[in-house]
Amino acid sequence: MLRPNGMGTLSYHPIMNLPNGVTIIRILAIPVILFLLFATGRMFQVITAVIFLLVALTDMLDGYFARSRKMVTTLGKFLDPLADKLLIVTSLIALISARGIPLWMVIVIVGREIAITGLRGIAMSEGMVIPSSLLGKYKTAFEMTSIFCLILKGPFLSIDFHLIGMVLLWVALLLAVISGVDYFRGFLKTILP
C-alpha cells in the first residue's frame, strides 16, 4: 500500500509483513486441525496435537517478530487476537463431539469471548483501548494446553491426557469468568463518574 511519507511523495508500507503472515498461517491451519481431529487412530491424534501445538506457539512468534523488527501494524493488532479466538473457539466446539467435553463449559468460554470482544468494540468507539490482562493471557495459555491434552484423548504413554485436559479446562473456565468480570469492572470504572 502506498502512503504519503510527509515529504509530498509516496512510500511503500507493507500490510502483509512477516508477523502478519505467521498470524495468517495460524488461521489457515484451523480447518486442517478440525479435519484431523475427527480422524480415527492414535497416529492421527498425535499428528493433530503436534500441529495444534506448533500453531499455538506461532502466537508468541508473531508477537516477537512484530516487536523486534518494529513491524507492528493495525492489521496485526486486529488479526492476532482474532486468530487466537478462532483457534480456541473452533477447537473447543469441535471437541464437544470429538472428545465429549461438556457443552455448557464451551458455552461459558465462548460467551465470555463474544462479550469481551463486544466490550472492546464499545470501548474503541469511545476512544478507549482495553489491553489484554495478565489473567486473560493465563486463560489463553490454559485453554491452549487443555485443548492439546484433549486432542490426545485418553491414556497415552501411561498418562491420562483426557483427565489432565479436563482439569486444565476447568482452570481455564474459572480464569475466563474471573478475567471477564475484571474487564467489565474496569470498563465501568472508566465510563462512570
pLDDT at position 48: 94
Domain residue limits at 75: 2-191
pLDDT at 29: 93
Give the per-residue pLDDT at 16: 66
Distance CA 96, CA 103 (A): 6
pLDDT of residue 97: 92
- Say if strands 2-4 and 10-12 run parallel, antiparallel, or are unpaired: antiparallel
Q: What is the largest CA-CA distance in the chain?
A: 67
d(CA 10, CA 21): 24
Do the Cβ atoms of 71 and 19 come closer than 8 Å?
Answer: yes
Enter the C-alpha cell of residue 132. Answer: 489484554
List the chain residues with pLDDT less than 70: 1-16, 62-66, 69, 71-77, 129, 131, 192-193
Quick one: angle between helices 134-151 and 74-99, nearest 10? 40
What local confidence, expressed as pLDDT, does residue 74 receive?
65
Q: How many domains does the chain have?
A: 1
Query: Minimal CA–CA distance to 94: which of 162, 30, 154, 43?
Result: 30
pTM for this model (two decimals): 0.82
Residue 124, pLDDT score: 75
Quote the pLDDT of residue 66: 67
Q: Note the pLDDT of residue 60.
A: 77
- The reported pLDDT for the residue numbered 193 is 59
CATH of the domain at 60: 1.20.120.1760
State the alpha helices, DSSP H only, in 6-102.
18-37, 42-68, 74-99
